[in-house]
Amino acid sequence: MSDCSDPAGTVGAFLCRAGQHLRAAAIENPRLEARLMLGAAMGREPSSLLGATRAPVPPVAASRFASMLRRRQAREPLALILGRQGFWTLDLAVSPATLVPRADSEVVVEAALASNLPPSGAVLDLGTGTGCLLLAILSEWPGGFGIGVDLSPEAAALACSNARRNGLEKRCAFFAGHWADAIRSSFDLVLSNPPYIESAAIPSLMPEVRVHEPARALDGGPDGLDAYRLIVRALPRLLKAGGSAVLELGLGQAPAVTGLAEAAGLAVQGSHADLGGVSRALVMKKPFGGSASGR
């Protein structure tokens, strides 16, 4: 790594100064983020810069990097600056119209894949955003087909673009709508990462989230459960008998959402924790021949 002794105008000098600026802006991994941005500005793999600290940075790349650095110092999410984010095995485009996919949400995918559902099944993703959950499942289910719904037409269009980006466009469709209001089919699997942050907690979120991600995808109402009430009420008609739903949860929400599911006649299969030990995904099933009904 450079100690800022590399000649001016070189990769090492740019990385060192940028790391200092990002550290001052309270960015957690300043040198890594600087390398990711400079790699993008230069059109090179970030890892290739590690052994090229004395390579010159072309003026056009330097200007591009300076713009990226200013945006990150203002606490714009790195993924929005780069225009992309990795999720599961996918490379996804991101935009201000959606949440940036997070590693915690991969627990939803893991839980769904562990639910012993047919890999040729039909999948519904409510509040699809970038399409990350649906597309991750379809990448593992080569015979599956899915529908993603989002209130934002811009988000639905981005998810459609991400399906093409990952070669999955023939096995899914995306629509703008209010949750499942327009859905009349039933599915083997229903997924959702709904807004679950309590309204009063929104102002205390980190700037990357509070300022740059859409409020409609964050605000879960006074107790954080508004979207769960709507979704769980619809699950009995959306799920085939024996079908499963997997919902992402916020911190401490597993008991409340479990209660909603049981009141709707769904059998709760359990929750899956993320790497931080938080119960992050709740799995529920519509019983065969059961009495599950929207109540």
Which parts are annotated binding residues for substrate?
193-196
Phi and psi torsions of 93, nearest 5°:
-75, 145
Nearest to 241 by CA among 283, 292, 281, 191: 292
Annotated binding residues for S-adenosyl-L-methionine: 127-131, 150, 179, 193
Rounded to a whole number of angstroms, the distance between the first and last alpha carbons of the chain is 60
Identify the sign of the CA torsion 10, 12, 17, 23: positive
- Between the alpha carbon of residue 130 and those of residues 87, 96, 126, the distances in Å are 10, 10, 11
